[in-house]
Amino acid sequence: DCYADSGCSSPLVAGHRMATPFAPENSLSALRAAILLGVDIVETDVRSTSDGVVVLIHDSTIDRTLEGSGEVGLLTLAELQAIAMSAEGKPAGDFGCDRVPTLEEAMAVAAGKVVVELEVKESEAGVQAAQELSAAGLLGTAFFLCDTSECEALRLAVPDAPIMTRPAEAAE
């Protein structure tokens, strides 16, 4: 909980894709595991479904992480959440109820417990996520990691969104 204590001098601990390998990546189980482990920041990835819902999934396809195949952006939220997470490479335990979470679901679990780093995989999803967090008064609970062009689009849409850039070249 060092992020909430300005007098804390301990290093911040971040969990990649929430808390892989303790639970399936970018799942609510992984988020809960990170919180239980005392992680300060959880990193996750934002993408949009075909019906415009921001979800947390790393790849542009579901092939690696879910029991199916296809592009995330071509599936509706209902279609995406009807598909179980892949058993391949999954940690021990029963994660049969885990589905790809929405940004809203994840932020409800994270609220007041952990800072969320939202890695922008698509500008549209990043902008939408920033707008949702702004409307909900949650901009202070998360920040966005994006490349220069994605950060510019995000900053134009939501000027007070906290961002961390990932420049590709020194000139950026």
Residue positions annotated with a catalytic role: 16, 58
**What does the alpha-carbon distance between residue 31 and residue 76 come to, in Å, rounded to a whole number?**
23
**What does the alpha-carbon distance between residue 156 and residue 10 come to, in Å, rounded to a whole number?**
34
Q: Please, which residues have CB within 8 angstroms of residue 108's CB and are 6 or more apart in sequence?
A: none
Exposed (0-12), middle (13-18) or buried (19+): which is 164, by Cβ within 10 Å?
exposed
* Contact status, residue 101 vs residue 127, Cβ threshold 8 Å: no
Single out the residue of 22, 54, 23 nearest to residue 118, CA to CA: 54
Single out the residue of 37, 26, 35 nearest to residue 118, CA to CA: 26
Residue 55 pairs in a beta bridge with 47, 102
